[in-house]
Each structure stands twice: as C-alpha cells, then as structure tokens.
Amino acid sequence: MNQAKRRPRKLGWRFVVIAVVVAFLLISLVRNVWMDVYYIPSASMEPLLLTGDRVLVSRTDFATAPIQRGDVVVFDGRGSFTPLNSGNDPITDAAIGAGQWLGLVPNNNIYVKRVLGVAGDTVKCCSAQGQLEVNGVPISESYLYPGDVPSELKFDVTVPQGKLWLMGDHRDVSLDSRSLLGMPGGGLIDTDRVIGRPWATVWPLGRIHVLERDAVRAP
C-alpha cells in the first residue's frame, strides 16, 4: 500500500523536472534563434536607449533584409571593441554568464550602436556646416543626443565589403568606431558579428515601447 501511494508522488516530481527542462530548452531555442534580451549598461545610445533598459533583440530581421544605414544593431565586440580573450576565471565567468542570460547584468562583450556606414560608403566628419557626410552628402541626424555635435574627432573612412562603421547616438560619451581608428581593423566591425536589431524595450515597465527603424539616406 505504501508503494502504491508513493508512485504517483514520484511521477509528479518527474513531471515537474521534465517540464522545467523542456521549458528551459524552449526558451533557449527562442533566445538563440528568434529573440533575446539584453541589458543596456551605458548612456552611449541616449536618448533612444537609457542605462538600465532591457531590450528585446530580434535575431531574424537581418536574415530577410540587409543592414542599412541608420539601423541600430546589437553586436559581439570581441576582436574589435574588446579583446578576444577578455575573460575571468571559469567559475566567475559561469556566474556572470548566468546573470547575463537572465538579463540581470550587462554582457561586457556585447554592444549596441547605430550603423552610419555600410559596404562602399565613405563616411566623413565633418562638412563645412558641421554635419556628418556619407558619400559626400551631409546628413541630418535627428536621433543625436541634445547638445551633442556629430563628432569632435575628424575622420574620413571608406567601408569595405563585409564591414560596418558604427557610432553611438550620445556622441560625447560613446565608445564606437571613432575610438578604434588606428587600431587593427580601423574601427570597422564585421557584419557577421551582428547579433540582431533592438526591437523593443521591455524594462522598466514605464519604458516599454517598440523601437522604430531610422533610415539614413545618402547616394
């Protein structure tokens, strides 16, 4: 009689464990194939994204349409923005990785910036009017942080195939392609390092909204 009573209890625990494992695998599949959540650790993309925002990132947008000027992208900065072997000890890495996976702490290898130059573009700063130029045409940047100029640093870069020129919207505080001029790669990021496009902010609750795409037009 005792065994007959315990058997359903064991089956119940097994069911819970199996359900948790299946749910974890489904969430992992969704986050690796379709959508993921990332923590915004800095003010470099203000006013669009604020420090502490959690953003839902679509991994599929650029599978159906190419990356365009004006797109905001989330990308892996290892080998360009951060060293390839910029890790801690395995135990610390595992703890940090768990927090990053849950969206509780920032991933120091992941960045979010705006694309200002795609393959074949020449990006220059600045025009006689103090504007950023793409292919010789001054562009209007309505997304810039109020009071910021397009760039205090002068540059003139032609973007080769498979690369992107990226800048933050809050130019005065942004570590971006300009900061890497003179370094290996010249501040240009490989397109295959792009993870996806921020689609919406999902936290804090008062900041929940869909992020529109801003195209930067130039010939």
**Tokens in use for 22?**
């299946």
CB 35 within 8 A of CB 199: yes
The answer to whether 200 and 208 have CB atoms below 8 angstroms apart is yes
Active site residues: 44, 113
**DSSP conformation letters of 71-121:** -EEEEE-BTTTB-TT----HHHHHHHHHHHHTTSS--TTEEEEEEEE-TT-
- Among left, alpha and beta (phi > 0; psi -120 to 50; other), residue 136 is left
Element (H, E) at 10: helix 2-33
Residue carrying structure tokens 């599949």: 29
